[in-house]
Each structure stands twice: as structure tokens, then as C-alpha cells.
Amino acid sequence: MRLSELETPCLVLDREKLARNIAALHVRLRGLGVNLRPHGKTAKCIDAVRLALEGPSGGITVSTLKEAEYYFDHGIVDMIYAVGVAPVKLDRIAALIGRGAHLSVILDSMAQARLLAERARAHDLVIPALIELDCDGHRSGVVPDDPLLTEIGRFLHTQKHTALAGVLTHAGESYNCRSIEAIQALADTEREAAVKSAEALRRLGLPCPIVSVGSTPTANFARDLSGVTEVRAGVFMFYDLVMAGLGVCAADDIALSVLASVIGHQERKGWIITDAGWMALSRDRGTAFQAIDQGYGLVGDMTGRPLGDLIVTGVSQEHGIVAGRAGKPTPAPSLEVGAKVRIFPNHACATGAMHDRYQVVDGEDKVVAVWSRINGW
Amino acid sequence: MRLSELETPCLVLDREKLARNIAALHVRLRGLGVNLRPHGKTAKCIDAVRLALEGPSGGITVSTLKEAEYYFDHGIVDMIYAVGVAPVKLDRIAALIGRGAHLSVILDSMAQARLLAERARAHDLVIPALIELDCDGHRSGVVPDDPLLTEIGRFLHTQKHTALAGVLTHAGESYNCRSIEAIQALADTEREAAVKSAEALRRLGLPCPIVSVGSTPTANFARDLSGVTEVRAGVFMFYDLVMAGLGVCAADDIALSVLASVIGHQERKGWIITDAGWMALSRDRGTAFQAIDQGYGLVGDMTGRPLGDLIVTGVSQEHGIVAGRAGKPTPAPSLEVGAKVRIFPNHACATGAMHDRYQVVDGEDKVVAVWSRINGW
């Protein structure tokens, strides 16, 4: 099958760029002396994640138990489920550990630690947990100087059915940085939060084998990761317009796009209508607050080259409105009804989530593979 | 299974409200003398759409060919595929018609009409088409006084392998109305565009059996639908916060919610963290420009009653931040780790699209059915 013959909308993945993006981060982190623990939440696809596991690896990260079960069924054993654990999920976690998965959970409260110990005891197994740290006020976690850190640590270590696996933090605010210098500074903060917390635990004689940090921006700009044992990142495999806007990648590094057909024109307005609406692109507007607002996606030709200033300026469920970036009509001579375009997404995780498979290309028009992906919980 | 025992996040559908919403629109449109052609794109679920087909009906509307195939496989024959047809989809449309579906397409250009005639000839069958009209500048369609209208009409009628099935328009701008009066006025405009175009075609001796209008807001506030043969609407089955903000429904009419678990707190900020992020809620921010911004959703207790001013103020992939509407910390005494909440969505279509099934309840805690739903193309 040729790319140009595919039904639209569909999700296209450039394997050459994927491999290049993966290799680049591995080389970078090897230079800093830490392992990469790729996040399986962006691709949700064993074929892509296997590529990311080439080279030194400390296992993977997952964001749902469905991912954990899926990757485990495909032979990946070492996983961190990096969303604060909900009590209702503990039996399913225990079942997966019972089957042989080396699955760790994360938590940031004594309430979670107690419930974890209780359910692990009921299942008569040990569930390892990392303490989630808040390094940047972004979302969840214990701040490093909160006495709660060592209280949870001591509890996890001393209970028979839990184990203290380490500490973990995510500099989610890196997505909102305005400069490379700001990302570098946040990478320092992220490292310091993790290393300082690990030291606090170790001073009390508690173990802290894993010191885990990560976000795609900080992974790309951290200058020193001493004391850190692993970096987590997911978006780096595909990259996207938000990452390009941050300066973390070039637009040409983006491996993911949505293939769409032109289905109409509103000539008075300079609009081209395509069949890729929010159902195909997602509602993500991550570039809205960046220097260049890419609307709902940047429009390229079939080889992936941007078509001037064309972006997706509006979406409904199954319609996309394509127009010039400044809202000014853009002549689009070759975009007749039936012509196809490739739309590069704001946010690879969100656009990927709207699809159940990747049409894999190798930089050429030929589809070399179809990789399925999962969604749901 | 009880609702309170379900794993989170998951999608909950209140069958009592669903039935009430469906009955109310049927009664209203019967009073105006027109059929309801429910849109299958919101529910994407045969069980829900079957309920909407009780009472007088002129078939259904679909937004993808996957919906058309799915509903046809479940016994629904009469369908309008209401997205301007892309050439690459014509063979699949022909296959479905060949299997016995009464499927019509829509189009707004001579280029589409010619490609339709060509592929229909190749398959040796007749593909009916409606001409899409632009009544409000929202998206696609021919404006009623454009000579293109009758040019397309004549072509579809005179070609051996196409048929002119009628005209169709959608007042998508009704979602942006600021008052009931504005919705009523737009409903008039929507009707006039359709009826005027049907008359223009008929004056030339061309047939126009279907005169189709519709959006959930205009369907609810149209006062006169004379000359119209059917109304299309989808969101009305479930309703959502955008519709409540428009005054189209009450918040208590919303049949769809996402069940979530509390997984943490950031007490200094007054944040409650849940496991329902954008992957469960969608990125839709449809209430952002309404009088009351509901963030990424309104938070209710397990019976669906709003918990004071709690909304989802921020989301990441698998995390939701719940806080008071004005950003002020809200005491939430009973929301311990593991507590469950029901989050009402901005946009039912978008939130539904993130899930593959509905946990159906009947106003009580008991799950009375699990209905699967489809996604994709």
C-alpha cells in the first residue's frame, strides 16, 4: 500500500525519524551516565517501545494498568506505573505482580501507603513503591523538605508487604518554559529535588535504589544528572509542535502526522476543508501560548514539507478548517478536492490517543508496516 | 456490580436521563410536524441510538463510514453520512450500498459530484447525494443563492448513477449563541436556507425529497419548521455543560459523566488530584467562553449532585486537578484518597470518544448494563 492510497484520516509514523529521535536521546543520556526509562504512554505500541529499549535500559514507564498488562504480555517485565496509585486498582496491580511483573507504583500520602500495605498483605506479596516528589508545583508529590517524605519512606521500608523502591519526580512545568536556559534551570531543580530526597532517606538508613527524574524537555537539556539513576521521557520518540516551539526539537524531527483528504473549499474565506477534525487531531491546543500558535496542527504536503503558512485554524468532530496562520487567505493551488495533506500535531500523546494504529513509513511513500496501539484503562 | 466498585476512570451513562432527553425532543419535534433523524456520532452505540429511534423516525445520521457500517450491521438501513464526501471513501460507500444500505452522502462542489458519478458508474449502482448548504458561515456548504446549488442539483439528477436526495444544513454557530433569542433567530435562518434552496431546485423541476436541518440548540428552540422534513441532532441524548451553559438543557439533564478516584491532595493549594485526566475527559474546553467556565468538567458526588464549586481546573494525561471554580481553595472534607466522584463533561461527543464502553446506571448505584461503543474510521 502506498501512503497516497490510504483512507483518511489516519495516523502516519515515520520510522526513520522515530529511530533517529530515540538514538539521539540514548546517546545524550549515556553521556550523562544515566539510563533512559522510556515512557510507554505516548506510543502505547510495543513496536515503538521496543525500538526505544535498544541500548542501555532500565525498563519502561507506564501511565495506565492497561499499558502495564499490554507491555508485560509482550515481554517487558520492569515497569513503573507513574500515576499516584488509586486504591481501586490495587488488586489488578497485585495480579500483575503475581504473574511475574516487576511493577512499582508511586504514591505521595500515608493513606496510599497504608492501603498498599493492606492489599499487598491480602495478596501475600510485596508491592514496591516509589515516593512521588513535587519539584515544581506542577501537579502531585511530596516537597523534598516535608517530613512526610521520610515518614512514608520508613513505613514502606518497614512493612512486610511493601518495599521502598526509591523516589520519582517529573518536571511538568518544563512544557511552559520560555527559553532553553529556563529548561536547563528546571532540569537542575528536578535533579536536586530527587537527589536531596534520596539523601534524606539514606541518612535514615532507608534504601533508595531508584532516583528517577524526567520530562522530554529536561531530558534534552539537563547538563548534570549525577545522583540520578534514570530519566523518563515519552514524547521524545515522536516529538510534536509543542516540543518544536520550545526548541527541544526541530519541526523536521516530528515523526507523527495525520493524513487527511481535502473535502471542500470556502473560497471567499480562503478556507480549505479537510476530513481531519478533533476526532483525528485531538482538541489539544498546546501551542496556543507559545510564540507561534500552530492552531490544531501544521499542514504539510505528502512528503511532510510544510505548505507555506497553512495550519488547521478550526476543528469540529470530523472537519478541519485549514487556512493561513495569520488568518489571511492563503492560495493553495494544488489542494483540489481529494488532495491529501499531512498534519503535524501539537501534542503527540493526545493525537495518538485518537487512533488505534500507525501507518508506518520510512521516509518514502510506501507503507512498510501497520503497528497497532492501545488506549483505555 | 455497583457503580462505587468500578475501576476508574470510566464512563457512566444514566439511562433514565437518556430516555427522558430522547422523549423530550421527540415530543417537541412531533409538535412541529417533523421527524427526528438522530445523529449516531455522539453515542456511537447501537443501544443508545435504538432508544433514540423509538417514535417516528427517518433513519439516522452518521459522521464516519465506520459508524455507517456498524449501525448497518446492527439493522439500521437509512443513513445520511453528513461529512462532505472524500474521493478515497467512495469505494467503501459503494460497497455498503451494494450490501443494501440506503446511504446518502453530502457534497458542496462539482468536483465531488463528478467523482461520485464516476465511482458510482464503476460500481454500477446509484449513490444518492444531498447538497450541503452553508446557512451561517460556520464551516462547509453552498450558500443558498449561489448558482452552484442548481448546477450541482441538475448534475446529480441527470446523471444515471447519482440521485439528488435533497438539501442539508447544520447551524453549527448555534453553539456560540449568547441567548435563547439568538438560537431562535439562527433556527429561523437555518430553516430558511434549507427551504429556500429546496424551492430553488424544485422550481427547475428537480426533486428535493429531503430538507434536513439540525443542531441540538436549534432543534430545541426552533418555533417553525414548515418546509423542513427532518431535524438532525446528536448531543441532545446525553447533553453536556456546553448545552447547559447555552440554556439548552439543565445541568441535571446531563446523562454522561466520568467516574474518577481521588489519588492525592496538594493541601497548600486546595487541590484534589484524581485519576481522570484529558485521556478520560478529553481536552475540550467548550465552556471557556461561556458565562460560567467549567474548566475540564463539573465535579459531582456519586449520586451526581455537584460538590459545591468544584471543577476540574487542570488536566494532564492521567491526572485531573480539582479545585474551586474561582481558583480559591475549597474544603472537601469527605474526598479522602480512594473517594470517587462523577465529572460532568463540557462536550459529550469529545468525552465519549475517549472511551470504548458505557457503564449504564438507572439513577441508582447499580450498573444495569455495559454498552460498548465504537471509535475510529
Pairing of the two strands B210-213 and B162-169:
parallel
A228 confidence band (pLDDT: 50, 70, 90): very high
- Strand B306-315 vs strand B320-324: parallel, antiparallel, or unpaired? antiparallel
E strands, B52-202, are 60-62, 78-81, 102-107, 127-133, 162-169
CB atoms within 10 A of CB A229: 20
Q: Please provide the average confidence, as pLDDT, over all residues in chain A.
A: 96
End position of a domain, from candidates B213, B238, B263 = B238
The residue among A92, A150, A156, A102 whose CA lies nearest residue A129 is A156
CATH number at residue A189: 3.20.20.10
Chain B residue closest to A173 (CA)? Answer: B316
Q: For residue A93, what are the contacts with CB-CB under 8 A and spacing of at least 6?
A: A65, A68, A81, A85, A103, A105, A127
Q: What percent of chain A has pLDDT over 70?
A: 97
Confidence (pTM): 0.97
Q: How many CB atoms lie within 10 A of CB B188?
A: 16
* pLDDT the model gives residue B186: 98
Closest-CA distance, B219 to chain A, in angstroms, reads 19
Q: In angstroms, what separates the C-alpha of B141 from chain A's closest C-alpha?
A: 8
pLDDT at A363: 79
Would the CB atoms of A7 and B108 count as touching at under 8 Å?
no
Helix (H, G, I), strand (E, B) or coil at A370: strand
| Chain centroid offset of residue B56 CA | 19
- Quick: pLDDT tens for A18-28: 999 999 999 99
Give the range of the structural domain holding residue B274, as residue numbers without chain letter. Answer: 3-10+255-372
Comparing alpha-carbon positions, the chain B residue that sits nearest to A109 is B264
pLDDT score recorded for residue A195: 98
**b vs e for A40-76, b when ≥16 Cβ sit within 10 Å of the residue's Cβ?**
bbbbbbbbbbbbbbeeebbbbbbbbbebbbbbbeeeb
- Same domain, yes or no: A171 and A285: no
Do A55 and A137 share a domain, yes or no? yes
> Hey, are the CB atoms on B264 and A355 less than 8 Å from each other?
no
Per DSSP, what are the bridge partners of residue B61? Answer: B39, B80
Tell me whether residue A107 is in a domain. yes
pLDDT tens digits for range A281-325: 999 999 999 999 999 999 999 999 999 899 999 999 999 999 998
A201 and A271 in a single domain? The answer is no
- The dihedral over CA atoms of A85, A86, A90, A92, expressed in degrees to the nearest 10, equals -100
A260 lies in the same domain as A343 = yes
What's the confidence (pLDDT) of residue B364?
82
Task: Please judge whether A353 and B10 are an interchain contact, meaning their C-beta atoms are less than 8 angstroms apart.
Answer: no
A308 three-class SS: strand
d(C-alpha A99, C-alpha B246), whole Å: 51
Q: How far A27 CA sits from the closest chain B CA (Å)?
A: 27
Q: What is the pLDDT of residues A132-155, one digit of tens each?
A: 999 999 999 999 999 999 999 999
Residue A305 inside a domain? The answer is yes
What is the per-residue pLDDT for B334? 76
CB-CB under 8 Å, B261 with A83: no
pLDDT of A65 strictly over 80: yes
Given A203, A237, A271, the domain boundary residue is: A237
Predicted local distance difference test score (pLDDT) of residue A334: 75
The count of residues in chain A is 377
Q: What is the pLDDT, as a whole number, of residue B363?
A: 78
pLDDT value of position A326? 77
Closest CA to A290 of A257, A246, A230, A341: A246
Please check whether residue A25 lies inside any domain of the structure: no
Choose the mutation target among A11, A132, A134, A139 for the interface with B, i.e. most B CBs under 10 Å: A139
Nearest to A196 by CA among A104, A270, A105, A134: A134
How many other β-carbons are positioned within 10 Å of the β-carbon of residue B49? 24
Residue B349 confidence (pLDDT)? 98
pLDDT at B206: 98
Contacting residues of A for B297, CB less than 8 Å apart:
none
Amino acid at A90: L
A67, A88, A174, A321, best to mutate vs chain B, most B CBs in 10 Å: A88
Hey, what amino acid is at A368?
A: V
Assess whether A211 and A274 both reside in one domain.
no
User: Between chains, do A109 and B85 touch, taking CB under 8 Å as contact?
Assistant: no
Confidence of residue A343 (pLDDT cuts 50, 70, 90): very high
Residues of chain B with pLDDT under 50: none
What's the rounded mean pLDDT across residues A210-221?
98
CB–CB contact A273 B140 (8 Å): yes
Instruction: Identify whether residues A259 and A229 lie together within a single domain.
Output: no
Place of cell 487567505: A329
Q: What is the pLDDT of residues A239-275, one digit of tens each?
A: 999 999 999 999 999 999 999 999 999 999 999 999 9
Record: contact B355-A376, CB cut-off 8 A: yes
Q: Are residues A209 and A296 in the same domain?
A: no
Based on the fold, state whether residues B365 and B234 are members of the same structural domain: no
Query: What is the CATH classification number for the domain harbouring A356?
Result: 2.40.37.20
Q: Take residue B362 and report the three cell numbers written for it.
A: 438507572
Q: Do B263 and A83 touch (CB under 8 A)?
A: yes
Q: How confident is the model at residue A333 (pLDDT cuts 50, 70, 90)?
A: low
Whether residues A131 and A233 fall in one domain: yes
Chain B residues within an 8 Å CB radius of A278: 284, 350
Domains contained in chain A, number: 2
Q: Does B146 share its domain with B281? A: no
- Determine, for residues A140 and B263 on separate chains, whether the beta-carbon distance falls below 8 Å: yes
Same domain (yes/no): A285, A321: yes
Q: Are residues A270 and A299 in the same domain?
A: yes
Is residue A331's pLDDT more than 90? Answer: no
Regarding an ipTM greater than 0.95, the answer is yes
Q: Tell me the mean pLDDT in the region A93-115.
A: 98
CB B41 within 8 A of CB B61: yes
Query: Nearest Cβ partner of A338 from B63, B86, B263?
Result: B86
Q: Do B318 and A355 touch (CB under 8 A)?
A: no
Residue from the list A86, A264, A314 with its beta carbon closest to the beta carbon of B261: A86
A299: phi > 0 → left, psi -120 to 50 → alpha, else beta; which? Answer: beta
Q: Check A172 against B316: CB less than 8 A apart.
A: yes
